[in-house]
Structure 1
Amino acid sequence: MRRGAEAPTLIASAQRALRLLEAAARHPSGATAKQLARDTGLALGTTYHLLRTLVHDRYLERREGRYLTGPAVSGLRGDDGPDGRAAGRNRLDGLLGRMSHELKAAVHFSRYKDGEVELVAARAAPGTTTADPERFRAGAHAHASGKTLLAMMSAEERRAHLERHPMVPFTPYTLREPAHLPLLPGPGPQRAAPITQYQEYELGLVGAAVPIVMGSDLAAIAVALPVSQAHRLTAVAGKLRTRVGEDLVTAAFGL
């Protein structure tokens, strides 16, 4: 320290809270209070006190006994420029990771942009594979996300899309006629029942998707399960609907 310089005044409680935030950020699927206490070297009682404050102020979220970074953390960085987009992508990846962990299913987010169905982010799960973006784009009529996006398009948009990407069969169960594709009633498509697919896109795979709308922007979030777990699909899709909140919409359309 330089002669005559005073030692900086440090707030120990603030330092401890920041250490907890850093530790929580290293666990995309969440961590228990005991895990965070071990990671930071803090006493368990102190950890609980700080966690309650951080949850109250939305820097952390508590779900099923695990703590995850909350929406206030994302708000610390602007949304403009490359850094903002990277932060938004990290936030979306984190949300999908948490959903995949909670639902025990693959989760992927897609959107309709510039006339194409685009796979934006995905998180695989045991018994599933990560979708190929090109196959995903061409097979919108076969997977749950694409069927949901097609269901929200105008008749003209849907017709133009199917002209570019004909309804070719991916499996024996793939729909072949536009008239057989589902349609979502408006307004309020987010209240509609999830749209499903049973081995239409890939043999051995079932899925369900729910729509996400912000203004004129269309997106969908979907779950996928191995066909051996098809009996779980209705329940998992129902839980997925409850996860579609402001945080997901903000992260998704901020990219």
Structure 2
Amino acid sequence: MALKHEPIAPYHSAQDALRVLETVSRHSTGVLDAEIARRTGLSADRLPALLLMLRREGYVEQLADGAYISGAALDRLTSAHGRDQALREQLQRTLDRLRDTVGAAIYLSRYVDGEIHITQYADGPATPAVNEWVDFRSSAHATAIGKSLLGQLDHDGRRDHLSRHKMARLTSRTITNERLLLSRLGAQPPTVPVLDLQEYAIGTVCAAVPVTAGSSVGCLALSLPVEHAHRLRQAADSLNRGAAPMLLSMAL
């Protein structure tokens, strides 16, 4: 199965953040932002936002003299022991923060061995998760998560998935024509969030953006009650901006 990767803005942010972390980790006693900028080539208007994100995620800490050192979260993720648990906990913290920032239920999913898996999610009383009334694995054609993941496969990979999962009509808005779906997936720009406007469930709208690290295919998604549909595009943009920490965590 071939993948159809194209760089997206969060990917570039994660790559820049990795360069910052490499510089910081080489200076065990601390390094000032001016030296980080010199060594990474990052501009004065780009670096502060990355350092802020890295501090918020716990990857760097700032000393009293302003110098930066490696943070506890980075130490946990780069340790030889317990990395999987540390990664899961770090991703959950980021998901919880996104839920509160965006004001929506947030989902992290991966496409593994030809199937869709929701690996982690963050919801709450004010941000309820979608009721999975039809198994997400068999409804990729109708969900933002599914369309985002299928969109990262090549044409043969998409057709293979659809050949194994019947495109059932879940609502009056569900696309059940394979040619139409494949056409829309092919035309979807990787930098634009995929939307689900009550295609999976009446009363719910969703958006998803790619989060791909290495050869793995994944996405970050949100769901909102339809009465909040007016917030969907703004929430999707916030989700896209929030994808960088997820990519960074998975790349470490």
1:141 corresponds to 2:141: yes
Please say if residues 196 and 208 of structure 1, whose CA atoms lie closer than 8 Å, have aligned partners that are also in contact: yes
Please say if residues 168 and 176 of structure 2, whose CA atoms lie closer than 8 Å, have aligned partners that are also in contact: yes
Q: Which amino acid aligns with 2:227?
A: S
SS at 1:222's partner residue?
A: strand
Determine the C-alpha separation between the residues in 2 that align with 1:144 and 1:57: 30
Higher relative contact order (CA 8 A, sep 6+): 2
SS at 1:216's partner residue?
A: coil
SS at 2:89's partner residue?
A: helix
Please say if residues 152 and 184 of structure 1, whose CA atoms lie closer than 8 Å, have aligned partners that are also in contact: no
Please say if residues 89 and 251 of structure 1, whose CA atoms lie closer than 8 Å, have aligned partners that are also in contact: no
- Give how far 1:56 is off: 6.8
Structure 1, unmatched stretches of 5+, are: 1-54, 62-67
TM-score normalised to structure 1 length = 0.66
Determine the C-alpha separation between the residues in 2 that align with 1:90 and 1:250: 14
- Give how far 1:222 is off: 0.8
Give the aligned partner of residue 90 of structure 1.
Answer: 89
Paired residues in the alignment total 190
Instruction: After superposition, give the CA deviation of every residue in 1:195-233 in whole Å (9 maximum; x if it has no partner).
Output: 101111111100111112233321111111000000000
Give the direction of change, closer, same or farther, for the CA distance of 1:80–1:141 in structure 2 (3 Å limit). farther
SS at 1:169's partner residue?
A: coil
1:250 corresponds to 2:252: no
1:170 corresponds to 2:209: no
Give the direction of change, closer, same or farther, for the CA distance of 1:228–1:213 in structure 2 (3 Å limit). same
Structure index of larger Rg: 1
Q: What is the Cα-based RMSD across aligned positions, in Å?
A: 2.8
Give the aligned partner of residue 208 of structure 1.
Answer: 207
Moved more, 193-202 or 126-135: 126-135
Q: Which amino acid aligns with 1:74?
A: A
Give the aligned partner of residue 115 of structure 1.
Answer: 114
TM-score normalised to structure 2 length = 0.67
- Give how far 1:250 is off: 3.4
1:223 corresponds to 2:222: yes
Determine the C-alpha separation between the residues in 2 that align with 1:219 and 1:105: 19
1:124 corresponds to 2:123: yes
Matches within 5 A, 1:9-158: 60-61=55-56, 69-70=58-59, 72-78=71-77, 83-125=82-124, 126=126, 128-130=128-130, 132=132, 135-158=135-158
Q: Which amino acid aligns with 1:241?
A: N
- Give how far 1:132 is off: 4.3
Determine the C-alpha separation between the residues in 2 that align with 1:56 and 1:215: 24
